[in-house]
Amino acid sequence: MVGCATGGGGDRDSGARLDALALDAGSADAGPRLDAASDAGPTAMDAHVEDDAFSGEDAFSNDDAFSSDDAFAPDAFVTMPDAFARDAFVPGADAFAPDAFTIDAFVVPDAFVVPDAYVIPDAFVVPDAYVVPDAFVPAPCTGALDCATCPGGHCVSGACSASNPTTLSYDFEGGVPSGWTNGMGGTVAWTIDTTSPHGGARALRSGAIGHSAQTRVGFSITLASAASFSFWMRTSTESCCDHGQLFVDGVAVLSREGTTAWTQLAVDLAPGTHSLEFRYTKDGSVVAGSDAVWIDDLAFGPPSDPSTGFESATLPAGYTTSGTGLWTSVTTMPHAGARCAQSGTISDSETSSMTRTVTLASDQTLTFWIRTSTESGFDYLRTFVDGTMRDQWSGTTAWTMVSYALTAGTHTVEWRYTKDGSLSSGSDAVWVDDVSFGPTPTGGPLCGP
């Protein structure tokens, strides 16, 4: 008992000194004070150490727990990473542009140099297409009918009207009409003539030409429906060989030659556009008369009445005659009325023809009456429709009615008297009367020069 008490007193003092030394272990004097306590005797210190946790070498070691190298430099605060390296903050150094922040893109590249593409190319020069074309320049109309300038209408006092007229006429009092082509095909032009016109003071005369030459004048017209084209012609030419002709769409439809007085001639035209041309053509020799032809007072209008009684002293408009002898209107034994048409006077192996061209709006029946007084079996009256022979008669016959069915459209009918090489009988002639092609077609608008 006495021994336990004695030991306890010594331990209490030693423990107090140890605690005080341990608390000051972080001070600069900790070492000397600890060492001083140790001088009291190693046995006393060891006796009061109860656990390694309180070991002076471990828990309070200057080398470990309070090392200035480690205890105040934890891994979290150990030197700054490369990204914040001190060198990065040295003014004027490359470190101000660290690798992480150095951007080559901020260096002005060649691409920012203004390229050639920014030079205004030739394509930006205003092209010719921007120049206002002629089509946009309003052109005043000039002719009585100007299809090019007045589509769907005609020209009145220099301005386009709302619709086309149904009649048109040319009298040449003001010269060659505007829109005509005078000297077609590079030929000699026709001229205005004041000697013996048909009406008014002027007519159009063929140009002066020599042998084997032509003089041509013409124009084009558009018809909304069938129309009749009529004109007056006078000729003073070599009767056999120098011809005044009318061409329709390049085909000769009328021919006159020799010395003839003013005669009205006509053709019916189908709907559509047509080229009309007057032509005087000479052969290779001989000059007769004035060596010229004249035309005057041309007119377009509703188709002429196809029904014909030949009551006029001349052949009605629309009928033409050709051959060695020409057909005429006579008073000898007509079928009805006072007159009929008679073939011309011809000799052996000669012909005399009368022709009529009509345009029908619908299917019709052609009717006419014929009478003959010829050499039977040799000298014939023959009829042709569109160039095809349909019938023939010879000898002495009374008035006989003939009829042919015709379809809608344009047709040409020809009555031709032909003699063989010898002999003559009877009156040596044939007659035609009371020709009818059915009702008259209605007229429509015209459009031309």
Backbone angles phi, psi at 246, to 5 degrees: -110, 130
Tell me, what's the pLDDT at 139? Answer: 55
What pLDDT is attached to residue 8? 42
Mean pLDDT comparison of 48-62, 245-259, 316-330, 367-381, highest-scoring range: 367-381
Mean pLDDT of 145-165: 64
Q: In the chain, helix, strand, coil percent, each to 5?
A: 20, 35, 50
CA distance 320 to 255: 8
- Which residue did the predictor score with more confidence, 262 or 54? 262
Average confidence score pLDDT of the chain: 75
pTM over 0.75: no
Is the pLDDT reported for residue 156 higher than 70?
Answer: no
Distance CA 221, CA 449 (A): 7
Between residues 24 and 169, the one the model is more confident about: 169
Domains present along the chain, CATH in parentheses: 2-78 (no CATH), 164-302 (2.60.120.200), 319-436 (2.60.120.200)
CA 189/CA 73 separation, integer angstroms: 124
Task: Please determine, for residue 18, whether its predicted confidence score (pLDDT) is greater than 70.
Answer: no
Which tens digits make up the pLDDT trace of 367-389? 899 999 999 999 999 999 999 99
Over residues 131-146, mean pLDDT: 54
* pLDDT of residue 343 exceeding 90: yes
Indicate if the pLDDT at residue 216 is higher than 90: yes
Cα separation values, 125 from 130, 133, 174, 296, 350, Å:
10, 18, 50, 57, 76
How far apart CA 315 and CA 310 sit, in angstroms, is 6
Task: Place 362 in a pLDDT band, splitting at 50, 70 and 90.
Answer: confident
Q: Rounded to an integer, what distance in angstroms lies between the CA atom of residue 316 and that of residue 96? A: 117
pLDDT of residue 311: 86
Residues above pLDDT 70, as percent of the chain: 60
Residue 185, SS3 per DSSP: helix
Instruction: Give residue for tokens 């188709």.
Output: 303
